[in-house]
Structure 1
Amino acid sequence: MTAMTQKAQHKNAQTAATQNETKKPRKILPREERRQQLIEATISCIARDGLGSTTMQMVTKEAGLSLGIANLHFETKDNLLKETLRYVAEEYHSGQIAIMQGQETEDLTSRLTALLNFQLSQGVTQRQKMAVWFAYYGEAGARPVYQKIVSAWDRAAAKQLETLFEAIIEDGQYRNIDAADLAMGYSALIDGLHLALLVTPRELTKKQAKAIAKDFLQRAFPKHL
């Protein structure tokens, strides 16, 4: 072996050693953080490509993770989609239920105002989130498991809204108002406004949507809003 060859090999060995020393190990995230990363990537894919077109490969590419990691955490695409729906439903409904239960304030007027602000907030009316929400609703009829997840949260939220309206009716001594009917009508209005904001954003602004919902509540509870 020539001196030149030995010198070249020594240089290559030094370079490799330096690269090994400076190469950063892949960051290992906790299980829940990886799951959340995949769920958020799923939300992005569904909003962009639709529920039926979303694949595990698309999700892992969006998340910058391997298919093996996705399979480790969710095993199947169906499980991933169910957990994504559960996350979206829980995020929205748990937020409004906490407000209606008075976890932040017992004052009825404050709770009513906070509920309205939350339901038409930037976070809730984000186009990506609304697109995913309605994509699942569109599939609920054909997929009983989706309907089961959504219905459980819908019933819980509807019950809390009815209870809040009952308390306001009693507090304001309002007459000829049925809390259950009013709660159903208000929920339908909010759902309709969310859909309009998603489908026809140029015809309905968030400010207008909030004004419409506020007008509904003011007509029902003029002493509280």
Structure 2
Amino acid sequence: MDGIDDISKDGPATPRKLSRGARRQQLIEATIDTIAARGYSRTTLTDVARHAGLSHGLVNFHFETKEGLLTETLKYLAEEYRRNWTEALAAAGPTPAEQLDAMLRSDFNPAICTKARLSAWCAFWGEAQCRPMYQELCGSNDDDYNRTLEDICTRLVAEDARSGDPVRIARVIRITTEGVWLDMMTMTDPYGPEEAMRTTFTCAAAFFPEFFDETGLTPTEKIRV
């Protein structure tokens, strides 16, 4: 099936000389854009095919059902997000301040912090019928992220000799990040990723003022590390 060009009824000509994996990724990217534009429930295979410039039959060939396509799309987003923050953490310095800085910045990486991706995440989070699927596919990733953030905050609390529950601190920081993501999607006059990141660092600075200000690591901390 993959040796000729395919033209959907409403979409542009799209070369079909792609590997199976590349074709599936193309359709998943089209699904992300379609969910962002139409919402989770209203997305159809026909919508995705039209957006990708491919035939409905080709979408069926790769995913068979809407549920299969949406499941693979969520898996793709979850793995992309996990890879984004783990790679940022691996590239960070050894101190907990550097590691928290890297994790928070990773949430505003332009590769993942796009309107379409944030809208798709909000759609998956908000759709009651997909919550069991979300828990099955993303629960372990969320647990890994939360444990890592809690460990970093535990080390920061110990290093700064401050009082406070690191688990609750990590939770507040995580909720702040998720909240500004939601703000960027739902506010009538939304702010951009730069302001969102400053808001998140303001939260970190409230708990760890020696290490952070609204821009990230404080000048003193940057010199120290």
Aligned with 2:163: secondary structure?
coil
Name the counterpart of 2:187.
200
Does residue 1:188 correspond to 2:172, yes or no?
A: no
Report if aligned partners of 1:41, 1:59 keep a CA contact under 8 Å in 2. yes
Aligned with 1:125: secondary structure?
coil
Match of 1:116 among 104, 108, 128: 104
Q: Which runs of structure 2 are paired with 1:7-22 in the superposition (5 Å)?
A: none
Name the counterpart of 2:127.
139
Q: Which runs of structure 2 are paired with 1:60-209 in the superposition (5 Å)?
A: 60-100=49-89, 102-140=90-128, 143-170=131-158, 172-200=159-187, 202-209=189-196
Q: When the two structures are aligned, how many residues end up with a matched partner?
A: 200
Higher RCO (CA < 8 A, seq sep 6+)? 1
Name the counterpart of 1:53.
42
Report if aligned partners of 1:139, 1:146 keep a CA contact under 8 Å in 2. no
Does residue 1:210 correspond to 2:197, yes or no?
A: yes
Report the structure, 1 or 2, having the larger helix content.
1
The separation in 2 between residues aligned to 1:107 and 1:129, in whole angstroms, is: 31
The separation in 1 between residues aligned to 2:35 and 2:4, in whole angstroms, is: 32
Report if aligned partners of 1:141, 1:147 keep a CA contact under 8 Å in 2. no
Aligned partner of 2:209: which letter? P
Q: Who wins on radius of gyration, i.e. which is larger? A: 1
CA deviation vs aligned residue, 1:57-102 (integer Å, no higher than 9, x gap): 11112112222322222121101001101111221233123334x3
The separation in 1 between residues aligned to 2:154 and 2:160, in whole angstroms, is: 10
Identity, % of aligned pairs?
31
The separation in 1 between residues aligned to 2:125 and 2:4, in whole angstroms, is: 42
CA deviation vs aligned residue, 1:35-65 (integer Å, no higher than 9, x gap): 1000001011111111111111111121122
Name the counterpart of 1:33.
22
Name the counterpart of 1:223.
210
Aligned with 2:135: secondary structure?
helix
When structure 1 is superposed on structure 2, of 54-63 and 120-129 the one drifting more is 120-129
Q: TM-score, normalised by structure 2?
A: 0.79
Gaps of 5+ in 1: 1-23
CA deviation vs aligned residue, 1:134-184 (integer Å, no higher than 9, x gap): 0000114654123322323211211111112122223x2322122111111
- Aligned-residue Cα RMSD (Å) equals 2.2
